[in-house]
């Protein structure tokens, strides 16, 4: 995960063996969010305000409470 | 009707010493509804979960009620809305929404060398790939009723319940070989999401595991209840099986693909 974002401590994360991406699971409300490989790559970049796609994805994940901004 | 569809497995009397999983019933809701526009209601462990339906729907309601009961009370296993078929120890899951042709495909495959473990729900032991049989009649809807009656003239079918909330519904008995192995679990090796489309050649799309995990979990009955146990079981299944999307019109092509891919 990048310097800008981190998975919350109690979130379970699984990276699939085929390299297609990862899945986040929040045991607090049993919600689940998938991040396909391009998303993972974006998460591993520094956030860029001009990167609308990046912001949209991060926002989506934030809505699902999986990611905490550091 | 129960005796016709369930055959030898149906019994009129239960000995006091026999273990009963669930106490369920179908009966008239009151004296009046026995004669005036007859209706029936389903009960499970003293609860009446559904509103009464016309008496002509009695058998369909019993089947739906049994599905509901297992979905509500089975907490030892992860439950996925899926057909399950197996050859030897190799089981394939066919999770699919209504209208995808799942039940027709299930009936076809059961009559072409596969054994039926379930048409409706996969009962998966937590953190394993083991699926427990739940051998029950196959629920056919609308056009698939006549299609299956044509294809399987030797089959045993229930009366058709017309214009239910699922359309016209009839049930088809499982075959003898499936019933004989109803206590034998199998090992899941593949998850196939089928979609019927008229007049197309077989299209096979191998799925990446992330997409398969999401799509597979959408078919979970008790994901919210089991939570982390269900998540971990689903991850284990996705990691230890192969997943495909299948668009088909010819069921013999589906059968050939499954044999080639999973039974070598």
Per residue, the 3-state secondary structure of B224-261, as one string, reads HHHCHHHHHHHHHHHHHCEEEEEEECCHHHHHHHHHHH
* Lowest pLDDT segment from A56-70, B16-30, B38-52: A56-70
Q: Do A32 and B235 lie within an 8 Å CB cutoff?
A: no
CB contact under 8 Å between A27 and B223, yes or no, is no
Cross-chain Cβ contact B210/A16 below 8 Å? yes
Q: How many CA atoms lie within 13 A of B166 on its CB side?
A: 19
Q: What integer is the mean pLDDT of B35-43?
A: 91
**Residue B2: band (very low, low, confident or very high) from pLDDT cuts 50, 70, 90:** confident
**pLDDT tens digit sequence for A12-68:** 889 999 998 888 888 888 888 887 766 666 666 665 555 566 656 666 665 565 665
pLDDT at A49: 53
Beta bridge partners, B243, equal: B191
Q: For B51-106, how does the pLDDT look when each residue is reduced to its tens digit (9 = 90+)? A: 999 999 999 999 999 999 999 998 999 999 999 999 999 999 999 888 788 999 99
| Size of the A and B interface in Cβ pairs below 8 Å | 47
* pLDDT band with cut points at 50, 70 and 90 for residue A1: very low
CB contact under 8 A, A32 and B224: no
Q: What is the pLDDT of residues B184-239, one digit of tens each?
A: 999 999 999 999 988 899 999 999 999 999 999 999 999 989 999 999 999 999 99
| Closest by CA position to B172, among listed B151, B188, B193, B186 | B151
- Contact between A23 and B235 under an 8 Å Cβ cutoff? The reply is yes
Give chain B positions within 8 Å (CB) of A16: 208-210, 213, 238-239
Lowest mean per-residue pLDDT among B18-32, B82-96, B239-253: B18-32
Domains and CATH numbers, chain B: 77-136+174-262 (3.90.228.20)
Give the per-residue pLDDT at B82.
Answer: 96
Predicted pLDDT at A70: 45
Task: Give the pLDDT of residue B32.
Answer: 87
Q: Do A27 and B227 touch (CB under 8 A)?
A: yes
CB-CB under 8 Å, B208 with A20: yes
Q: What is the pLDDT of residue A55?
A: 58
The total number of residues shown for chain B amounts to 264
Q: The sheet that has B138-141: what strands, in order across it?
A: B138-141, B167-172, B161-164
* Segment B105-130, tens digit of pLDDT: 999 999 999 999 999 999 999 999 99
> What is the per-residue DSSP string for B104-123?
HHHHHHHTTTPEEEESSEEE
> How far apart are the CA of B209 and the nearest CA of chain A, in angstroms?
6
Q: Which residue of A has its CA nearest to B227?
A: A30
> Which of A18, A25, A35 lies at the smallest CB-CB distance from B209?
A18
Of A17, A18, A25, the CB nearest to B228: A25
């Amino acid at each position: 995960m990048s310097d800008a974002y981190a998975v919350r401590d109690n979130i379970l994360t699984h990276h699939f063996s085929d390299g297609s991406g990862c899945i986040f699971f929040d045991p607090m409300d049993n919600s689940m969010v998938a991040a396909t490989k391009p998303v993972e790559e974006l998460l591993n970049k520094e956030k860029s305000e001009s990167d609308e796609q990046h912001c949209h994805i991060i926002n989506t994940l934030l809505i699902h409470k999986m990611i905490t901004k550091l | 009707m129960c005796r016709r569809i369930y055959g030898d497995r149906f019994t009129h009397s239960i000995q006091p010493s026999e273990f009963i999983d669930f106490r369920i019933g179908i009966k008239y809701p009151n004296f009046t509804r026995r004669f005036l526009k007859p209706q029936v209601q389903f009960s499970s462990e003293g609860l009446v979960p559904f509103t009464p339906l016309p008496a002509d729907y009695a058998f369909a309601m019993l089947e739906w009620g049994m599905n509901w009961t297992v979905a509500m009370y089975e907490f030892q296993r992860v439950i996925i809305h899926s057909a399950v078929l197996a050859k030897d120890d190799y089981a394939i899951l066919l999770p699919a929404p209504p209208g995808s042709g799942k039940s027709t495909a299930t009936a076809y495959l059961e009559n072409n060398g596969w054994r039926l473990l379930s048409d409706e729900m996969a009962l998966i032991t937590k953190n394993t790939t083991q699926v427990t049989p739940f051998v029950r009649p196959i629920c056919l809807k609308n056009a698939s009723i006549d299609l299956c009656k044509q294809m399987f003239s030797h089959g045993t079918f229930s009366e058709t319940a017309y214009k239910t909330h699922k359309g016209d519904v009839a049930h088809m008995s499982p075959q003898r070989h499936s019933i004989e192995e109803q206590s034998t679990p199998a090992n899941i090796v593949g998850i196939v999401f089928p979609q019927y489309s008229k007049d197309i050649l077989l299209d096979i799309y191998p799925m990446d595991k992330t997409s398969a995990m999401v799509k597979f979990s959408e078919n979970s009955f008790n994901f919210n209840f089991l939570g982390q146990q269900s998540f971990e079981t689903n991850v284990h299944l996705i990691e230890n099986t192969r997943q495909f999307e299948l668009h088909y019109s010819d069921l013999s092509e589906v059968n050939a693909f499954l044999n080639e891919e999973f039974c070598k």
